[in-house]
Amino acid sequence: MAAGNHSTVTEFILAGLTEQLELQLPLLLLFLGIYVVTVVGNLGMIILIGLSCHLHTPMYYLLSSLSFIDLCQSTAITPKMLVNFVAQKNTISYPECMTQLYFFLVFAVAECYMLAAMAYDRYVAICSPLLYNVIMSHKVCFSLIVGVYTISTVCASVYTGCMFRIYFCKLNVINHYFCDLISILKLSCSSTYAFIVVGINIIVPSLTIFLSYGFILSSIFQINSTEGRFKAFSTCSSHIIAVILFFGSGAFMYLKPSSAGTMDEGKISSVFYTNVVPMMNPLIYSLRTLNRRKFCSKIVCSL
């Protein structure tokens, strides 16, 4: 492809997860299974929370929103990924690539800030339990959710808009299995300041989470009984695991120096936050939530 701006680019070629033909079918079955579990798990989470009046609390509203984000994020990436496992030529049109990038960014950024909002919810629940219903009112919870989607939509619009302005000076082969921001930027000869902007959307929520858990740990250590400390910490354990999985893989991909690691390592990291994390979150939170397990038992017994 000759050097030029985006008007000369009509399609991209996705390199895919691997070039080994013998792995295409096993990977297709693996990621199809992961996607089915993701859809069933997250839809089930949303439906159960919606059906149970006992779960109509700020914590579960935020969890339901997280499930919706995970479901949409996986759906933005996985179907095209599955098609590419069996396609002879993994091409994606320029508009389709930009559309996939936009929705991926919307839900990836939304997950960052939703996890931060959930950390704030846990901070209020543990540090100010008597004022929890006042501070985390339905109005505040709704405002947090709207704020998360507003920030993510604005950020995704800005990032995607910038992609229409960059100049491509390399081959139109994206060394990835989807239209990832970094992979597209590697094809350009324009400024890559977007790395810095993307990093902000990882660092700011991370600092919010660390600050919230700093206050949480301080409050937990002030509890006299061991049982009380364990009970308080156990209410946060699911969220901590989800944060480590998502931000750990995201930071490895977006915050490491461009010279560090290979693109194949980046693909493995991407698999975690685009496929594994959306599948794991419902399982992580379900295993730690007794109320939901009891409600599931009631639903099964009533059938």
Residues 173-229 have pLDDT tens digits of 888 899 988 888 888 776 555 555 666 777 888 888 999 888 888 888 887 777 777
Structural domains in the chain (count): 1
Distances (CA, A) of 277 to 33, 198, 250: 14, 19, 11
32-65, pLDDT tens digit by residue? 999 999 999 999 999 999 998 888 889 999 999 9
The Cα–Cα gap between 181 and 155 comes to: 13
**In CATH, what number is assigned to the domain containing residue 59?**
1.20.1070.10
Range of 262's domain?
Answer: 4-302
Map tokens 């977007």 to a residue.
194
pTM: 0.85
Q: How far apart are CA 139 and CA 43, in angstroms?
A: 24
